[in-house]
Amino acid sequence: MATTDTSPILLSVDLQQGMVEGPEEWGPRSTPSLVPNVESLLKTWREKKWPIIHVQHDDIADPTNIISSKYPETFKAHACAAPQGDEPIIIKTVGSAFVAPDLGVELEKLGKKRKVVVIGMDGSQCINSTARHGSDLGYDLIVVEDASASFGMGGGFDAAKTHEAAMKMLASYVTV
């Protein structure tokens, strides 16, 4: 049975050690203030006792990807976003968190009419996929640009430009 509470839900996506710190070959990530911004949002949500759902990516398709449960040190939640208490952790194996059936179950329990605030990694990939998919499903989403980050795409698109472009594209679907 869904709750009638209307406080926003924080959806923390792929804030895992290997994503936040990233291997050297990925280059630098955007959003130098990512870690303190994530910590601040999580602190606020916890103080207000608002719901938080954590999502972790488990790349089962590419055995060399460090964002896989095969590599516990890089798969685990980054310290800035470590789940506490009974905060649910949803495991996804593709870009959109909404493909993971457990996310839909958690959101239905909390009430679909709530705003869902999305933070995490990578803005041009899983944040983009999750936000667009959630919008298509009828969720009211907000992506926090400075509590999300991206890696560069090469070809003149460094991390900052990639993140800026990803957020501009998302603004057609959700609030950024």
- Which token pair is 141? 């989403």
Quote the crossing angle between the two packed helices 126-136 and 159-170, to the nearest 10°: 0
Residue 153 binned pLDDT confidence (cut-offs 50, 70, 90): confident
85-142 pLDDT, tens per residue?
Answer: 999 999 999 999 999 999 999 999 998 778 999 999 999 999 999 999 999 999 999 9
Task: Report which residue type is found at 77.
Answer: A
List the domains of the chain with CATH numbers.
9-170 (3.40.50.850)
- Which token pair is 50? 């608002």
- Which token pair is 154? 């090469």
Share of the chain above pLDDT 90, in %: 87
State the pLDDT at residue 1.
Answer: 47
Q: Which residue's structure tokens are 């950024």? A: 176
Please state, in angstroms and as integers, the Cα–Cα distance from residue 108 to each residue in 104, 118, 142, following that order: 6, 17, 18
As a three-state string, the secondary structure of 89-120 is EEEECCCCHHHCHHHHHHHHHHCCCCEEEEEE
Closest CA to 15 of 173, 104, 106, 126: 126
Distance of alpha carbon 31 from alpha carbon 105, whole angstroms? 31
Q: Helices marked H in the chain — which ranges?
A: 17-20, 34-48, 72-75, 101-110, 126-136, 159-170
* The pLDDT of residue 37 is above 90: yes
Distance of alpha carbon 150 from alpha carbon 121, whole angstroms? 6
State the pLDDT at residue 2.
Answer: 54
Q: Do 37 and 146 meet the contact criterion of CB atoms below 8 Å apart?
A: yes
Three-state secondary-structure class, residue 42 = helix
State the pLDDT at residue 4.
Answer: 63
